[in-house]
Amino acid sequence: MNKQETVDRIAGHVGKLLRNHFGKGPEVLNVSLDDRSIVLHLKNFMTPIEDALLAKKDEKTFRYTRELMMKALVPALETFVREDLHLRFMSLYYDWNPGNSSGMITVLLDSEADANQNYEGRESVHTQIVDILTKTQAEPYYIDSWWVDAKTLLVFRKGIAILLEKELNALGYTDVLKTAKRSLEKELMWKEAHIGKTVRKPMTDLYIDWNFDRDDSVIVCRFDG
């Protein structure tokens, strides 16, 4: 398959999986693909029950139900990447912005592609993220970032969990830990970082997820233009 055929296949298959698991799919499903990652950006993705939860300001239950649904969906997504796309699956991340009914699903691939993509503002992006987010976590021993496409910047970090986070994860409090970290880190990023100004594009969406077993994290920034 060429790249566009792969993108179309991903969009069709993932859209069907989401409809089967959630009862409806996103109105828009954008697929960004490169040698190292697959990023799915979902727009207008909200079920009537989830709308009711958010109308009652119950984001906690919204995220809990999404987490349950995604845990059931992840094995099917991994199988699809490995067996249908014949790509080397490494790990999967997801996050939601209920305020605008959007979401992100990111698959990192075990690729031998060049890990050093130089782009304007790269060093500043890394510095901002490390300086701001080390208020809530350990300083990463590894950070990298790359443009998946013209609107999608992916930041990957390793070695960021503090001892308390590792213990909470081991005790089974991963969902609670993620909820707290998302709220805090997104607030810090929107208030104190200037990623859009650095890369000269207005940032429209921000998504963060972690794999505490691997002690790594993905930040996905979406831009206009």
| The residue type at 163 | L
Token readout for 188 is 């810090």
- When pLDDT is averaged across residues 7-13 and rounded to a whole number, the result is 96
Instruction: Confirm whether 199 is domain-assigned.
Output: yes
What was the pLDDT predicted at 57?
86
Domain range enclosing 202: 122-223
pLDDT of residue 60: 85
In a shared domain, residues 37 and 60: yes
Q: What percent of the chain has pLDDT over 70?
A: 98
pLDDT band for 115, please (50, 70, 90 cuts).
Answer: low
Sort 133 into a burial class: Cβ within 10 Å, 0-12 / 13-18 / 19+.
buried
DSSP labels, 25-43: --SEEEEEE-SSEEEEEEE
pLDDT surpassing 80 at residue 52: yes
Say whether both 93 and 137 belong to one domain: no
CB 182 within 8 A of CB 97: no
pLDDT tens-digit map of 57-86? 888 889 888 999 999 999 999 999 999 999
pTM across the whole model: 0.94
160 CB-contact burial (10 Å; exposed 0-12 / middle 13-18 / buried 19+): buried
Q: How many domains does the chain have?
A: 2
Residue 142, C-beta contacts closer than 8 angstroms, at least 6 positions apart: 156, 157, 158, 159
